Chain A
Amino acid sequence: QKEVEQDPGPLSVPEGAIVSLNCTYSNSAFQYFMWYRQYSRKGPELLMYTYSSGNKEDGRFTAQVDKSSKYISLFIRDSQPSDSATYLCAMSATSGSRLTFGEGTQLTVNP
């Protein structure tokens, strides 16, 4: 069983839709929860991160962590074609420890 599970998709939505991306994990030591965005033929870039449980909002993006359920989510409001990319969740136990990635979800936002 993988430490981090993520539905690889692909996920296709119309422009303006609300997108929900999710990951589950098994390692209760994880404290940092990250979302990376990876455009085709590019390296992953950090979108946002949350420490421990709770919500974090940044513009159209909201990250949620539920440690009791070992479940994290990324919501994208008013999705745009420029949001089309692969979204990877990642987790670590401490700042400086290794990142464990999910498989990535491929998202396409259609104009």
Chain B
Amino acid sequence: DTAVSQTPKYLVTQMGNDKSIKCEQNLGHDTMYWYKQDSKKFLKIMFSYNNKELIINETVPNRFSPKSPDKAHLNLHINSLELGDSAVYFCASSQYGTEPDGYTFGSGTRLTVV
């Protein structure tokens, strides 16, 4: 299936741990994003990569580090997890300049920090 896929879907971890979320898209898009959705459903962009280059970097703690090994993958590594990091993290992809057509979200990774 053509899609944006994220792993894992659920992640429960203790404070202070380091964790990674992976995202892959097979839509041939050149731009990928990470969004954070809090408990009130507010969706906010964190990072965006275009052809492996960082183009959007919102005010996000340094503990969050995205990495794009190629334009089909965008991973998110989080160091020293805090309770406030609990949220649903969505990956998305698009073909730059053709948005909003084709802007596709993954199903999300539900992160719970205990």
Contact = CB atoms under 8 A, between A and B. Distances in A.
Nearest to A91: B100
Contact of A99 (B45, B106, B107): B45
Interface residues of A, number: 23
B42 A46 contact: no
Contacts of B97: 95-96
B109 to A, nearest CB: 10
Interface stretch (A21-29, A53-61, A72-80, A100-108): A100-108
Interface residues of B, number: 24
A34 interface: yes
Contacts of A46: 100-101, 103
B66 interface: no
Contacts of A106: 41
Given A49-B101, A95-B100, A98-B48, 6 more contacts: A8-B41, A43-B4, A98-B56, A99-B103, A104-B41, A104-B42
Interface of B: 4, 31, 40-45, 48, 56, 90, 92, 94, 96-101, 103, 105-108
30 contacts: A8-B41, A32-B99, A34-B100, A41-B107, A41-B108, A42-B108, A43-B4, A43-B105, A43-B106, A43-B107, A44-B43, A46-B103, A49-B101, A88-B41, A92-B99, A92-B100, A95-B97, A95-B99, A95-B100, A96-B31, A96-B96, A96-B99, A98-B56, A99-B45, A99-B99, A99-B100, A99-B103, A101-B42, A101-B44, A103-B42
